[in-house]
């Protein structure tokens, strides 16, 4: 599986491994191997090793604590004490290491425990700093991804311009076209609404 990294923050990308949360949630971390693949694609470690079911469960709990805390930060609300505690506890273990191998090449070492500690540490750095005020929800319909708006004007709206952004633009374009060209719309053959 190819995971998406568009949030401008590792912890927010991790929180998006449960997608479309409000409408039809899709769990992307269904198997231990999915977590291993995420860790590698996130470039946290070259060899995550064997991932247990217990580690997967722990990863999902951490992810949900990160998501809820990010939403609280975005809304300017208080975060749940239990979520803060879990993020703090997960961050206390050993972290992944990055060692230079040659010019343009590094070795990233750590198993899944180190990976989760590192994700929790990054989450702690985000929520403990002023950057937490830059957390935004994607404006895409039904998209529940969060991202950091680092644009100078504070005007970033989409998790990903190429997916959510272009989908929204295509919808707006169709609406404008339908409004501007009623005769063309009337000339179309009648169709049965798909949702009927």
Residues forming the site for Zn ion (CB under 5 A): 138, 140, 143, 145, 159, 164
Number of alpha helices (DSSP H) and beta strands (DSSP E) in the chain: 7, 6
Structure tokens at 23: 């409408």
**40 or 166: whose CB is closer to Zn ion?**
166
Mode of pairing for the β-strands spanning 26-27 and 135-137? unpaired
**108 or 145: whose CB is closer to Zn ion?**
145
Please state the closest distance from residue 149 (CB atom) to Zn ion, in A: 13
Please state the closest distance from residue 84 (CB atom) to Zn ion, in A: 26
CA distances from 129 to 65, 124, 125, 126 (A): 17, 8, 6, 5
Mode of pairing for the β-strands spanning 18-19 and 105-109? unpaired
Please state the closest distance from residue 63 (CB atom) to Zn ion, in A: 17
Please state the closest distance from residue 145 (CB atom) to Zn ion, in A: 5
Mode of pairing for the β-strands spanning 105-109 and 97-102? antiparallel
Sequence-distant (6+) residues with CB within 8 A of 77 are none
**86 or 146: whose CB is closer to Zn ion?**
146
**99 or 162: whose CB is closer to Zn ion?**
162
- What residue has token string 């998790």? 159
Please state the closest distance from residue 141 (CB atom) to Zn ion, in A: 9
Sequence-distant (6+) residues with CB within 8 A of 60 are 18, 29
**81 or 162: whose CB is closer to Zn ion?**
162
């Amino acid at each position: 599986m190819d995971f998406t990294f568009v949030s401008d923050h590792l912890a927010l990308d991790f929180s998006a491994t449960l997608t479309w949360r409000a409408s039809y949630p899709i769990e992307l971390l269904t198997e231990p191997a999915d977590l291993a693949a995420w860790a590698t694609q996130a470039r946290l470690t070259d060899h995550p090793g064997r991932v247990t079911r217990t580690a997967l469960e722990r990863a999902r709990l951490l992810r949900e604590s990160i998501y809820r805390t990010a939403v609280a930060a975005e809304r300017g609300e208080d975060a749940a004490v239990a979520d803060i505690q879990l993020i703090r506890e997960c961050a206390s273990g050993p972290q992944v290491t990055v060692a230079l191998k040659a010019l343009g090449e590094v070795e990233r070492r750590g198993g899944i425990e180190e990976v989760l500690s590192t994700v929790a540490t990054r989450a702690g750095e985000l929520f403990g700093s002023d950057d937490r005020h830059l957390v935004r929800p994607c404006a895409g319909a039904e998209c529940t991804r969060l991202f950091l708006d680092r644009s100078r004007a504070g005007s970033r709206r989409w998790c990903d311009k190429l997916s959510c952004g272009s989908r929204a633009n295509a919808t707006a374009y169709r609406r404008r076209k339908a409004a501007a060209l009623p005769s063309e719309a009337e000339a179309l053959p009648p169709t049965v609404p798909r949702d009927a």
